[in-house]
Amino acid sequence: MQLIDEDKIIDISELFKIFGDSTRVKIINVLIDNELCVCEIANIINVSQSAVSHQLRILKASKLVKYKKNGNCIYYSLADEHVEKIFKLGCEHINEL
Amino acid sequence: MQLIDEDKIIDISELFKIFGDSTRVKIINVLIDNELCVCEIANIINVSQSAVSHQLRILKASKLVKYKKNGNCIYYSLADEHVEKIFKLGCEHINEL
DNA sequence: TGTTTATATGAACAGTTATTCATATAGTTA
DNA sequence: TAACTATATGAATAACTGTTCATATAAACA
């Protein structure tokens, strides 16, 4: 039996906790193949600017999104392919239920 | 932009929410390639029988584990390969950070 | 039948979390 | 400079979650 150590288990659960909120999953969904600013995200997923910003901070802190400034706006995108991969695996699981 | 509909987003986040607790992740971890009863799980991961039972109920309800009765004991195992796949993808992501 | 063992469960509590609202910051443009 | 726009953030609140403790259930067996 290959037991993963406590610290790593906690990291893993923290990672999935990030994916465990529908607002964050919506944000991740719209950022697949897209680079969008905060207010675009807020409009598309129909969530308040403040709520989106709060959630982006969490996504940023866990390095699931990256961002770049351009003039007045801050454009967010997914940090790497892993994020999309995890999202899609979740989709698959749901679709097979 | 391929927007997944609200209901599915909620299902996906609910799925990941299950993986977002360290006790449940520990349970999933020990059930990879193993079929164990409640008290074995509790002993191995060092969590109270009650806490394990409560979490198994949640895992059962979301069809991530299955179980079978044998005499006095109830043996739990992972419901399908998807569960292990999601767990392992989480591991990978963590290991690459 | 009475005792032991394995599991489940309800209530209570403490801790966490997501949203809203108000406001701050900072860049842009008139 | 003043006004506007985009974003961030702190406080407050309401809702949710996981554990513990006590107890229930039910099977096994002496």
> What residue segments make up the domains of chain A, in order of their start?
18-96
The pTM of the full predicted model, rounded to 2 decimals, is: 0.94
Class of the CATH-defined domain B8-96: mainly alpha
Question: Which amino acid is it at B86?
Answer: I
3-state secondary structure of B21: coil
Architecture of the domain spanning A18-96: Orthogonal Bundle (1.10)
pLDDT of residue A77: 98
Best B94, B95, B96 residue to mutate vs chain A (most A CBs within 10 Å): B94
Tokens of B85: 């796949």
| Inter-residue contact B67 to B59 (CB < 8 Å) | no
Beta-bridge partner residues of A73: A70
Buried-state track A35-56, b at ≥16 Cβ within 10 A, e below 16: ebbbebbbebbebeeeebeebb
Cβ-based neighbour number of residue B55 at 10 Å: 21
pLDDT of residue B71: 85
* Residue whose entry in the numeric block shows the structure tokens 């990291």: A11
Residue A1 has pLDDT above 90, yes or no: no
Q: What is the mean pLDDT of residues B51-56?
A: 98
Best A3, A4, A8, A12 residue to mutate vs chain B (most B CBs within 10 Å): A12
In tens, the pLDDT along A58-78 reads 999 999 999 999 888 999 999
Residue B97 has pLDDT above 80, yes or no: no
Give chain B positions within 8 Å (CB) of A33: 1
